[in-house]
Structure 1
Amino acid sequence: MNLRVRIKNPVFWVQLLLGVCATVLAYAGLTAADMTSWGAVWGVVRKALTNPYCLFLIASNVWNALNDPTTSGLTDSDRARQYEKPLEL
């Protein structure tokens, strides 16, 4: 995987953050509107990090953000591995 390029791409970070946040909020049965204080946020995060099922779902989201479904196996294409920055279309 061409992780150097992925970490430079803001879309990767948004995808990762939204996947993790949506998982944690769904686990807690909450919406973003329910997070009205930092204490509430950290309480939900603490509970999520101690729940094996929630950690599995977070790992699944990380996997989906890293994996390129357009190639076979776990690697990027030869072309994608040659990128120095995200491809601009």
Structure 2
Amino acid sequence: MKNINWKVRFSNPVFLAQLVLSVLAPITLYFGVTYEELNTWGKLGQVLFDAVRNPYVLSGVAVSVYNAVNDPTTAGVIKDSIRAQGYEKPKKDVR
């Protein structure tokens, strides 16, 4: 996936939050767990372990991560525009 500027994406806190939530949301929804219930590392680890053992949950996570990574404004699948591939840091909207 060299057509994605991973360096810039991972330096953007919004993308990181989106990626984390794209993994956690399908898992917590499937198991009916609220974020308040995940108050220890043991509970979080058990939920993640149960998720990895469940193909349905893994497919939900895969679709969710795909939606977080894919840029619908660019033609093609999981690809940044040529201009975005050249960014050194997330572009700020200047008006």
Letter in 2 for 1:66: V
Give the equivalent residue in structure 2 for 1:79.
83
Q: What secondary structure, in the 3-state scheme, does the structure 1 residue paired with 2:74 have?
A: coil
Alpha-carbon distance, 1:71 to partner:
1.0
Q: Which runs of 4+ in 1 moved over 3 A?
A: none
Aligned residues: 89
Give the equivalent residue in structure 2 for 1:3.
6
Distance 1:60 1:68 in 2: 14
Identity level (%): 46
Greater Cα shift, 75-84 or 43-52: 75-84
Q: What secondary structure, in the 3-state scheme, does the structure 1 residue paired with 2:19 have?
A: helix
Distance 2:7 2:38 in 1: 33
Superposition pairs of residues 1-89 of structure 1, within 5 angstroms: 1-74=4-77, 75-89=79-93
Alpha-carbon distance, 1:5 to partner:
1.1
TM-score, structure 1 normalization: 0.89
Provide structure 2 residue ranges, at least 5 long, that are not aligned to the other structure.
none
Alpha-carbon distance, 1:39 to partner:
2.0
Letter in 2 for 1:64: N
Cα root mean square deviation, aligned:
1.2
